[in-house]
Amino acid sequence: MLFTVNEIADLLQGELIGNGKLGINEFCAIQEAVPGSITFLANARYEKYLQTTRASAVIVQQNFKPTHDIPASLILVKDPYASFVQLLKHHQTTNSPLKKGVELPSHLGEHVEVGINVYRGAFSYIGNHVTLGNGVQIYPHSYLGDHVTVGQNTIIYSGVKIYPGTQIGNDCIIHAGAVIGSDGFGFLPRGDGSYEKIPHIGKVILEDAIEIGANTTIDRATLGHTHLKKGTKIDNLVQVAHNVEIGTHTVVSALTGLAGSAKIGNHCILGGQVGVTGHTAMGDHTVVSGQSGVTKSHPKGHVTLMGMPAMERKKYIKMYVIFKRLHDIYSKSL
């Protein structure tokens, strides 16, 4: 047993209605809940499941007034989803203690500074002049080139490849297979139509509390920095090209590509498979619908963009409504 219902109600500072002595050993979605589990009701759409759920306990909104008898114990809180997430975090922290220590064989270069409570997994490779803060976790098969710095409590999962000189802040999570600091895609055309590689001597800076998804790639700058600011979250298989800047607390979904020197503001949300043209600027609080192509600057932000080339979502939808009727309209006009 992980918890009693009473313990959970205490942890969440919630009001208990029903049996507090029941044991909870699983977390479920309401429609898939099993006896012995706890779930939550955050969305009125799911209220119908309350009568039939097999969960032993449900976290609900504090103003919730059940119209029927509910078989489960209820825990009333201000924000059921946030409380459920809090419970999950508590569970994860107590049941999945961080890894520590050094597994062998692993490679440690020269002039490396290693904090306390660091995990270095088997077959991990730490180059020369690397700095690892306290509590850093380096999983197996990860590679940190020379002069990489990693802040406190950052987790680098298996098979991450970090090129030399990259700077990573505190409390970041880098998922498996991500590549950070590879050369930007820049070539100088020669007279004969062949290409000369432009050396990329800049680097990548990730500030604190950044999450990078699995197999995402972030190129180093030609000169200067590719720079992701505090709290930004990048999904899987995203391409961030050389010299891109992303502001604070911005969210970029999977398979999106940001071309060279694109500037993305703070608090933006980019859907999946979005493309952003190089050397454009996107203001704060911009939202971009999935599969859109942002081909020019929208520096004022506070707008939702859609389409390829992307325009204001409202405008796009007005046209799309006509587009969908094009055949009918044209047939009628003949």
Q: Which residues are catalytic?
A: 242
50, 69 in Cβ contact below 8 A?
A: no
Residue number, 9 or 255, with CB nearest to a copy of itself: 255
Of 83, 67, 73, nearest to 13 (Cα)?
83
Residue number, 73 or 243, with CB nearest to a copy of itself: 243
142, 156 in Cβ contact below 8 A?
A: yes
CA 217 – CA 126 distance, rounded (Å): 20
Residue number, 29 or 98, with CB nearest to a copy of itself: 29
Q: Are strands 73-77 and 101-102 parallel, antiparallel or unpaired?
A: unpaired
184, 261 in Cβ contact below 8 A?
A: no
Least spacing, CB of residue 69 vs a copy of itself, in Å: 26
* Integer CA distances (angstroms), 274 to 206, 219, 237, in order: 21, 18, 12
Residue number, 116 or 279, with CB nearest to a copy of itself: 279
Residue number, 44 or 326, with CB nearest to a copy of itself: 326
The DSSP-derived string for 92-106 is: HHHHSPPP-EE-SS-
* Integer CA distances (angstroms), 73 to 31, 120, 193, 227, 237, in order: 16, 44, 73, 48, 42
In sequence order, which residues have a C-beta less than 8 Å from that of residue 82 and are 6 or more positions away?
none
